[in-house]
Structure 1
Amino acid sequence: MGPLSLQHTRQRPAADTLAKEGTTKDQNDRSTTFKEAKTIIKAKQHKKWLQQHSHYNKHDAFHLLTRSEQVLIFRLRTGHNRMNHHLFTKFRIGQSDQCPCQTGSMTTEHLLQTCPLHDGLRSQIWAEATTVQGKLYGSLDDLQRTATFARRTGVSI
């Protein structure tokens, strides 16, 4: 028997003694109602969720969009969409990940920023140069413009 296991056996009877002693003492009645337990669990889960989703912003204009606009923005933000890049790289659907313009992969950034097929529409929607970040995470107006642009391109997102 090594020194660690010997030490462990010496401490165990003390722990058992203390536990036995605790059973003989008066216990405070600290019963919790179902409602209190539910509130505690919800609060802990919410705190855990916020820690895991540190990028979450409850003031994100995304929450003010219509449901269809939210779907479009969500798909553009995450890259989980019906554009060639996602379909080809994840599911091997289609011939390639190339945009029909043949100047790059059909990604969110390509569609919103550089695709020559949509230059005219892009300049109509955004008079000034706007970053992808601004188009996907900007103000309510920015997000609505992005959703409008995506719909008007006719690209399946």
Structure 2
Amino acid sequence: MKLSYTVHIHETVLQWISAHYVIVGNETADKLAKEGSKKDQQSSSTTYKEAKHIIKQYQQRKWADQHPTYNKCDPYYELDRSEQVLIFRLSTGHNRMNHHVFTKFKIGSTDQCPCAAGAMTAEHLLQTCPLYKVLRKRFWSQPTSLQNKLFGCLDDLRRMATFARETQATT
């Protein structure tokens, strides 16, 4: 005896249409929603891979729109990860130096540099701290702006990262 089965597959589409109670223009919105619900709904199945690709493209476009000054040729992106982190921490002030730790986390007794000549900040460390005067001279024979040290060319950025590592003040 041979049995055969017939399977019928039906597709059901649910569409949620929000109510617009006590909202300006709700009559117009309700009318448009009702019209839309009566129209044939497009059936489209998207694979996981396609959905992922669409979302990724959308996020990349959104990010690019929000960061119009981004330049992928910026020398910062040619540094290794540890150099990028070091420069980022110094340029934003979010680092382990006394000023940030004391003012943000209330850790320690003061924000002063061990040299006692000012608050221990990136600018102080890189520009004026007497403890690192000789080391600064070794890295920068000529006076160099803080802007150039933190945002200059690739050589400037590498020099600055090496200087900061040698001071051990940021770790």
**TM more than 0.5:** yes
Unaligned runs of 5+ in 1: none
Q: 1:84 to 1:29 in 2, by over 3 A?
A: same
Counterpart residue type for residue 19 of structure 1: G
Moved more, 134-143 or 43-52: 43-52
TM-score, length-scaled by structure 2: 0.73
User: Cα RMSD over matched residues?
Assistant: 2.7
Contact 1:84–1:97 (8 Å) recurs in 2: yes
Contact 1:60–1:137 (8 Å) recurs in 2: no
2:36 aligns to what?
19
2:157 aligns to what?
143
TM-score, length-scaled by structure 1: 0.79
1:18 to partner: Cα distance:
2.2
Give the number of aligned pairs: 150
Aligned partner of 1:84 among 88, 94, 98: 98
Moved more, 88-97 or 32-41: 32-41
Moved more, 52-61 or 88-97: 52-61
Q: 1:110 to 1:31 in 2, by over 3 A?
A: same
SS in 2 for 1:143: helix
For 2:140 and 2:55, the matched residues in 1 are separated by 46
1:98 aligns to what?
112
- CA deviations on 1:32-80 (whole Å, 9 max, x unpaired) are 3332221111011122233444454322222222333223212212211
For 1:80 and 1:134, the matched residues in 2 are separated by 19
Higher RCO structure, 1 or 2 (CA under 8 Å, sep 6+): 1
Counterpart residue type for residue 36 of structure 2: A
Unaligned runs of 5+ in 2: 1-21
Counterpart residue type for residue 64 of structure 1: E
Paired-residue identity, %: 55
* Greater helix content: 1
Greater gyration radius: 2
